[in-house]
Structure 1
């Protein structure tokens, strides 16, 4: 038997070790619901992304866009983050195993994030408000905002700034 010669490498291929760190494909983000009222009622100091523990019918309702975040808020107590009063409508094709629309839902965060948010919300005037629910790839996520309530003067300033921005856009377009 003759000794085999090493094969030449094919063009365009490299060994697995020379590729560097594995690249994740970009995940598609699909927004389901946005809490627009929170932007007006609260000053968002910080925000964090959290996963949600959901049942199958809740995921299907979310994909249909049947969710309301009007009175929703989140808490961090005893090392567990929970979303309260977020209304996810019952799934239309669900059976007897359909979910409770306003049940409290557990949020998935790292322990350090839970502890940091718990310390901040213990301070006077801070609360956790869900700003948006979206799908990141196949997983449902919620964007939580660490918020401080605005008083009437701050709300008026927000309205004034919004009106000035709209007027400037109108002037730029020539509608005005």
Structure 2
């Protein structure tokens, strides 16, 4: 008899540009971008994400971004909530401290991808993880990089998992 509890894991995808990237990217970048993606992992009844504050959580759809633009079912996990929270706590004290946030190289999507693989063994869609290199491959992206690197995104509405300590 199998008493293993399975938990459904979802990826919430938000377009931070609210459709503007789709319209403006061909003019500004010379290539089509469908959105500027913010992602979060929904597991155990909570939404988990990484931003300039570190790792945060809130009820699903509970940030100022409102409901997600897209929900992707990533599958199921047998990882218990306790083990998952220990894992997040250790990430929040090391790799995913708020001061380690970088818009291009180490952001909410990097976090969602790592957590998705931890829970389900599968990555998030590549069109999300490939976005920074697509932007940076353009002259305009290179020109904007110093400005964009200074931006820290953390949608209000969550509580910080690691207490917000910057060590």
| TM-score bin (small chain) | under 0.3
Bigger proportion of residues as helix = 2
Q: TM-score, normalised by structure 2?
A: 0.26
Q: TM-score, normalised by structure 1?
A: 0.26
Bigger proportion of residues as strand = 1
